[in-house]
Amino acid sequence: MPLIQPDPTFYPSAREAMLAPPEELAYVALLDPAGGRPDGLATIDLSDGSIIDVHDMSVPGDELHHFGWNVCSAALCPYAPHPHVERRYLVLPGLRSSRIYIFDVKDDPRHPKLVKTIEPETVFKKTGYSRPHTVHCGTDAIYVSALGNVNGDAPGGVFTLDHDTFEPKGRWESDRGSQRLHYDFWWHLGHDTMITSEWGTPNQIEPGPSLELLVGRQYGHRLHVWDLAKRRHLQEIDLGDQHQMALELRPAHDPTKTHGFVNTVINVEDLSANIFTWYLEDDLWKARKTITIPAEPADPDLLPEPLKQFGAVPPLVSDISLTLDDRILLVSAWGTGELKAYDVSDPFAPRETGSIRIGGIARRDAHPAAPGRALNGGPQMVEASRDGRRVYFTNSLYRSWDDVFYPDGISSWMAKVDIADDGSIALDPGFFVDFAADGRRAHQIRLQGGDSSSDSYCFP
Amino acid sequence: MDLTSLLVLAGFGAFHGLNPAMGWLFAVALGLQERSRDGVLRALPPIVFGHAGSVLITLGLVSAARLAAPPKAVSYGVAAVVCAFGLWRLLKRRHPRWVGMKVTRWQLAGWSFLMATAHGAGLMVLPVTLLGGHEGHGGHGGHDAAALASQSLLATGVHTVAMLVTTTVLALVVYERLGVSVLRKAWFNLDLAWAVALIGAGAFAALT
């Protein structure tokens, strides 16, 4: 049923969304590492970090990764307004299986209910793509990125799902220009511009990280800029082929701004990870390197096989999150086990304001909730609350990659930091979700009602 | 056209102007995007122009039908189309999409034309304009083209002025004073009212 007033979780601007009440629940995708059990969708009570519910998928082998909402604040956009719909469905793609699950959280938010499954064959037939990944609620449809075509090769791209029926509507691009590789996408709604990033084709990434591809600089290292309304490729931005794997895209939430941030996982020349700021200048989109996080020397005995020769741990920055006021950028260094915070009020001169340590390939730092216990994995999927005060993160990256960098097998957890007014961060000693008993690995977190990567806004 | 008809036409104009989906919200967004009230004001004429175009074309088509067909047939035809459209609006949710936030004036006018047409703005107004047709004229050929054309223009004009005033006042009040956060509470779902108004207007056409 349509609502009489707009869904109360919709906000015209990010500024107003920051006034939203604090989140009470988190939904977390769980991946089965062994391959025999189905993946799960966990519901976490954020008041005490307890696991309320885990809903198993219908079959094993999906490899849940990222997911998103059916609709969000973009429904208030004035050129395609439909604000009387409800944010109640979670759209969960299986990155390996290409199956898409739709969960309804309205009737009982603590126990999401599976209401629809889109089978891989339908995705293949309707879109020509496979390996669905990022989900964003758009102004006119649900947008989903896909890493490759049906054979697991390039091109990857974007397809859309109908808002109401969730049926795949088809490929999004009308002209893909030079774009072949794909990973993430997001947009500047005020400028009708979409940005997409590059990881690798399914055939390149599914067997695990390849030193050969890395040394050959074969993974993605470009951004692509698109006309969102005309669905046309406008230009590419090459970040430099030493910067392998350009992943998460965090455009400014204010639609009048024209900059954003992207992380590159590893520089093959010095093992550093980097953040680039993209921006619009004289009608051309450009990017500039604004943060470099260097590799950390470590005892080779503590390192997994591929890293022994270097005697150093690469930070492997795998995810970033931008608070809704476009002020604090959270950066996950999954390799070194560090979560960093930067003040990016000046997007070209980020200033580090905080850092915490947990896990890490060599360090294995503990959480204050269990001081004696060495943790593996590191800060990975990171999500900031709408008010920009709390940040939640999990520790698993991608199954076949987890096993290379943490060969002892990641024992999964979720932790939280609080952000202070000055941008410093501190681990909440009372919040530690331990998934060891479940045995599955936590990936993306979605906060009830929305978070800092779930919604986009048409008003400043 | 009597005073009642003019008031009803103006009332529908105000009703359409009130609807955020008919354009004032777009004008506010464009103003906010360039942080200028001029941006709001610049967006309004194309929006009102597109809306008026949609209404005028609807009325013009029916005027042409009235020249060719008996008034009763036109009335029932109009009643059927307007009611059916109202029912369709009631049952079917749509998310029209045509442009984004970067629009030229012509695109804005085109967007407004499409929004008005898709919402049946002209259809809602239509039955009122048929009123005059039953008085004093009987049978085929009771109208002359000039009278019908001037009537369509007058009806569109009255409707448009009312819409322009409502839309302008709302856009400026929201831009200058209330802020768009008012949308969170005050953006009532007009779809139902809109569909009921269409069905009511259709029934009116059939009964008079």
Nearest-neighbour CA in chain B from A98: distance (Å) = 27
Q: Which residue of A lies nearest to B180 if distances are taken between CA atoms?
A: A12
CB-closest option in A2, A10, A256 to B184: A10
pLDDT of amino acid B30:
95
Average pLDDT over residues B44-68: 91
Task: Write down the pTM of the prediction.
Answer: 0.94
Query: pLDDT tens-digit profile of A403-454?
Result: 999 999 999 999 999 999 999 999 999 999 999 999 999 999 999 999 999 9
Query: pLDDT tens-digit profile of B106-118?
Result: 999 999 998 898 8
Nearest-neighbour CA in chain B from A356: distance (Å) = 36
Query: pLDDT tens-digit profile of B118-133?
Result: 888 888 888 888 776 5
- On chain A, the residues whose CB falls within 8 A of the CB of B95 are 80, 82, 139-141, 163
Task: Decide: residue B66, CB within 10 A, 0-12 exposed, 13-18 middle, 19+ buried.
Answer: buried
Average pLDDT over residues B150-171: 94
- On chain A, the residues whose CB falls within 8 A of the CB of B99 are 79, 229
pLDDT of amino acid A226:
98
DSSP symbols for A422-440: TS-EEEEEEEEEE-TTT--
pLDDT of amino acid B142:
53
| Residues of the domain holding B175 | 3-207
Tell me what ipTM this predicted complex has: 0.88
Nearest-neighbour CA in chain B from A460: distance (Å) = 7
Mutate to test the interface with A, among B24, B180, B182, B194 (most CBs of A within 10 A): B180
CB-closest option in B21, B99, B181 to A81: B21
B92 part of contact set with chain A, CB < 8 Å: no
Q: How many domains is chain B partitioned into structurally?
A: 1
pLDDT of amino acid A35:
80
Average pLDDT over residues A19-32: 97
pLDDT of amino acid A124:
98
Where in chain A are the domains? 14-447
Tell me the count of A-B CB pairs closer than 8 A.
89
Cα–chain center distance at A324 = 16
CB-closest option in B35, B95, B111 to A82: B95
Q: What's A365's DSSP letter?
A: B
Quick check: A192 and B187 CB within 8 A? Answer: no
CB neighbour list of residue B186: distance below 8 Å, 6 or more residues apart: none
- On chain B, the residues whose CB falls within 8 A of the CB of A460 are 32-33, 35
- How far apart CA A68 and CA A63 sit, in angstroms, is 15
Number of separate helices (H) and strands (E) present in chain A: 6, 30
Phi, psi dihedral angles at A121 (to 5 degrees): -60, -35
Which CATH superfamily hosts domain A14-447? YVTN repeat-like/Quinoprotein amine dehydrogenase (2.130.10.10)
Query: pLDDT tens-digit profile of A64-108?
Result: 999 999 999 999 999 988 899 999 999 999 999 999 999 999 999
CB neighbour list of residue A345: distance below 8 Å, 6 or more residues apart: A326, A327
B32 part of contact set with chain A, CB < 8 Å: yes
pLDDT of amino acid B141:
47
Q: In the structure, what pLDDT confidence band is assigned to residue B137 with cuts at 50, 70 and 90?
A: very low
Query: pLDDT tens-digit profile of A316-369?
Result: 999 999 999 999 999 999 999 999 999 999 999 999 999 999 999 999 999 999
Burial B180-195 (b: 16+ CB within 10 A, else e): bbebbeebbebbeebb
Question: Does pLDDT of B93 surpass 60?
Answer: yes
Joined tokens for residue A226: 């698109």
Q: Average pLDDT over chain A, rounded to whole?
A: 97
Query: pLDDT tens-digit profile of A211-270?
Result: 999 999 999 999 999 999 999 999 999 999 999 999 999 999 999 999 999 999 999 999
Average pLDDT over residues A381-397: 98
Q: Which residue of A lies nearest to B187 if distances are taken between CA atoms?
A: A5
